[in-house]
Amino acid sequence: MAKNPAASDQTNGTAKAAPPEPGPPPRMREKYMRDAVPALQRDFNYENPMQVPRLAKISVNVGVGESIANSKALDAAVRDITAITGQKPITIKARKSIAQFKLRAGQHTVGVKVTLRGQRMWEFLDRLLNAALPRTRDFHGVPTRSFDGRGNYTLGLREQLIFPEINYDQVDKSRGLEVSIITTARTDQEARRLLELLGMPFQRENDPQVAAMAAAAPRRRHR
């Protein structure tokens, strides 16, 4: 007579715990399905729902060229990016040797990078739009000219301190971040509309405050 595995486990006192129930889907993904998808279908007349642009991945990069002279800088950058994204980054080695900076290709680390997909991608975008960007000093929206012509958007952030996950007392130095949002959109127009529907605060056209800030910014001298 065959034994019941469940009964046997209970008899031996080793009953298997039930698998944890999946948590609720990220609210940013819910917003995409509820608001963005119908609006994009209406605006661009997609015949097939699979044609609607979506987020593919988000990559976050931080340069740590000072780690050549200060080994603790790399550890600090890894700690900050791990706290911000919830995922440990990979290190990026130098591709070229530069004697002036004592840089050797393949040996010295010049940056760290993390690529987010799925739930972590949606959760990071939610924190970026609703928690980090509003904490930016003198914030008047993100630029609209940072698309690459293929539906991808890159945003530069001046410092990591705008993320609430960062403990100010543990920060050794203010470091800039580069956030690249990769979409399946075929054009920049479609990608921009997608990000607008998700809540990306693009700068308003002909905003006098933005124009005044651009005019006051120091210009680079051409040699």
Ordered by where they begin, the domains of the chain are 26-199 (3.30.1440.10)
Of 112, 185, 115, 177, nearest to 147 by C-alpha is 185
| Distance in Å from the first CA to the final CA of the chain | 90
Q: What is the pLDDT of residue 168?
A: 81
* Tokens standing for residue 141: 């929206």
Q: What is the pLDDT of residue 187?
A: 95
Q: What is the pLDDT of residue 207?
A: 55
Q: What is the pLDDT of residue 105?
A: 54
Q: What is the pLDDT of residues 125-146, one digit of tens each?
A: 999 999 999 988 888 899 999 9
* Tokens standing for residue 174: 């203010």
Q: What is the pLDDT of residues 13-26, one digit of tens each?
A: 555 666 556 667 89
Cβ-based neighbours of 178, under 8 Å, separated by 6 or more: 60, 61, 62, 154, 155, 156, 157
Rounded distance between C-alpha atoms, residue 128 and residue 114, angstroms:
15
Check if the beta carbon of residue 116 is closer than 8 Å to that of residue 124: yes
Q: What is the pLDDT of residue 109?
A: 64
Residues of the chain with pLDDT below 50 are 95-96, 98-104, 106-107, 210-223
Of 114, 105, 200, nearest to 160 by C-alpha is 114
pTM (predicted TM-score) = 0.76
